[in-house]
Structure 1
């Protein structure tokens, strides 16, 4: 069953028009990239509905490497147009029809983002559950700390 969820998420096409299309020129961390969009404008994108470990956390560098292996130098479509408090576009990255945000969660490299303990994307929550059960990525750790708790504990405002 978990594999069917992943397959569905990875082959479905974006349900909304892409806000922008461009080439990924830098991967900041496991859930933030810089896209070079026309006309030669760099745009910082925060992957929506997921939260990857921070750089100083266990699996933080692995999450960044995982994302890099999928998007660095690639042309991506970004679906989403809202912005966070750092003025980054919140969006879903699509490469060749694949939801990269979902790939991170399904691969055990990110959590499904929650607000007041409610996942913003229920499909991502199912991917997280499957990755946890299969002990993929960060779920190999005995007690992984969610990034939002880690930030709170370290008083970091990332």
Structure 2
């Protein structure tokens, strides 16, 4: 019985962290895409570790357009097995072996997502610093506002 339990747990652990792949059929904004898997299932993916400007925020449309040019109608692989509170998979989007999340940050079209001041995915802190240094994308703005703070500023008092 113990052996059977161990095997079941191993299989569940492996399948929970398995990658998925599909064709990008929709780019919702600079950090969210929808893919169509071979099973015909549509799955929303939130690019993990980054935070792109909101659509109606400065650079929001540029961020979405850039991501669209990169991945629209392309076959991508997603690594990651967590879900956010909206049910989206939090994952890294891979296209031809390239980390698209990092491409967004490196081009100044997304921040490295931070929690308590530290990048949740440390590998994105350096590309962000490089984009800031050359004032690429949103870093051309003298005072860019992180999306989380921007959303708070947009809320109307009740």
Give your verdict on TM over 0.5: yes
Give the Cα separation in 1 of the matches to 2:22 and 2:71. 11
TM-score, normalised to structure 1's length?
0.86
Comparing both chains, which one has the higher relative contact order based on Cα–Cα distances under 8 Å and sequence gaps of 6 or more? 1
TM-score, normalised to structure 2's length?
0.86
Q: Which runs of 5+ in 1 are unaligned?
A: 1-16
Q: CA RMSD in A?
A: 1.2
Aligned to 2:141: 141
Task: Report how far residue 18 of structure 1 moved.
Answer: 5.3
Task: Report how far residue 154 of structure 1 moved.
Answer: 1.2
- Please list every run of at least 4 consecutive aligned residues from structure 1 whose deviation after the TM superposition is greater than 4 angstroms: none
Q: Aligned pairs, how many?
A: 140
Aligned to 1:68: 68
Aligned to 2:122: 122
Q: How does 1:27-38 map to 2 (within 5 A)?
A: 27-38=27-38
Task: Report how far residue 26 of structure 1 moved.
Answer: 0.3
Task: Report how far residue 66 of structure 1 moved.
Answer: 0.6
- 113-122 or 102-111, larger mean C-alpha shift: 113-122
Larger Rg: 2
Q: Which runs of 5+ in 2 are unaligned?
A: 1-16
Secondary structure of the structure 1 residue equivalent to 2:125 = helix
Deviation string, structure 1 residues 114-158 (Cα, Å, up to 9, x no partner): 0111101122011101100011000000100000100111129xx
